[in-house]
Amino acid sequence: MATRVPFKNLAEAERLAKRKLPKAVWLAVKAGNEQGWTLDENLRAFSELGFSPTVFDRPTSFDLRTTVLGMDIDFPVLVSPVGAQAIHPDGEVGVARAAARAGTATGLSSWASDSAEDVAAVNPNTMFQLYWVGKRDQIEARVEAARRAGAKALIVTLDWSHTPRRDWGVPPAPPSSLDLRTMVRLAPEALSRPAWFGSYLRRGRIPELKVPNLFDRMGNVPYFGTAWAEFEATPPPTWDDVKWLRELWGGPFMVKGINTIRDAKLCVDLGADAISLSNHGGNNIDGSPSPLRYLPSVVEAVGDQVDVLVDGGIRRGSDVVKALALGAKAVLVGRAMLYGLACAGEAGAYAVLDILRSGIRETMYGIGRSSIRDLERADLMVLNSDFFVPPTR
């Protein structure tokens, strides 16, 4: 019997996810940084763009298909690589299966709870996302493991700032082991949401927070906390490091976390096939504007040399249309997927993608566009004259 999905839009999914998840888990999902200005700004930017609907020549069919990183997908929404999807027993495998069913690609984080092998087995269009953790030999081993698993593309994420402050509180540090003392410490959180914890027990498992894609030199799978300590101790990659990584992989390659024209041009120079404009969902420098505001400037600078994607704050199909009209090839959706996953597992993840696809079609019907390739900036109304903020570099 199909799982009933208890939400009809992503605002409902967010409210339900907050009620379902233990507080510490919810804080990790909601995330953000410092006062949360950028977290809110990512949503606000979309609200400052509107449409001018038409009543004549409305389309009767829609072509939403596109190609990103060599992968043909049915509509321009990809699942962003988001770590530790053990907020539900279905985890990354459930999200990947939902994405495959929806006809799109899934991103798999280095910090995932499921392995690249397991995820690629259920979605052939899997993109493995790499954080720079450890030495080059460790990174090379992880890249080759993703290649053997069948990953179609490699994403390197460069925009994490390691800022631990949030005005509304931060979750406790993830464990470095799951010994008896740790289990006792975490028990009140788990038991505060018995239905959530019970969903794991019914599967005969517990959310142990291991990260199989960040295996160590001996092939051992570390706990999240152990891997995180190594991440914080690893110097950030240089341009030469990323160039080495691009050559090592050799296939479709995306750099995620770009915020300036200068960095976008450097990505072109190192041979990237795509970039994603991103502030890490509000988790980078608080006070940085939404990538949507400088999307047109970056597209103008490098859009004829590299596919430009964008992520952050996408909650509706109309948001996707706005991004495409400003020049994006496609969008990546992360936090919204977690809301759906928390509410109803794989079925909830699929519902998020279905809601976005329906919203794209409805918006395109309203503005008289039958193909995403026909979308342009003239389809939008700027409600705030200060909307566009060109990058300063």
Q: Which residues are catalytic, by number?
A: 280
Q: Which residues pair with 158 in a beta bridge?
A: none
Distance CA(350)–CA(356), nearest Å, equals 10
Distance CA(34)–CA(36), nearest Å, equals 6
Nearest to 30 by CA among 38, 42, 18: 18
Residue with tokens 């969008």: 331
- Nearest 5°: phi and psi at 274? -155, 155
> Two tokens at 327?
């020049």
Q: Which residues contact 204 (CB under 8 A, 6 or more apart)?
A: none
Distance CA(373)–CA(139), nearest Å, equals 37
> Two tokens at 104?
């799109």
Q: What is the DSSP letter of 288?
A: P
Nearest to 332 by CA among 45, 104, 78: 78
> Two tokens at 41?
């700004």
Distance CA(95)–CA(93), nearest Å, equals 5
Q: What is the DSSP letter of 159?
A: -
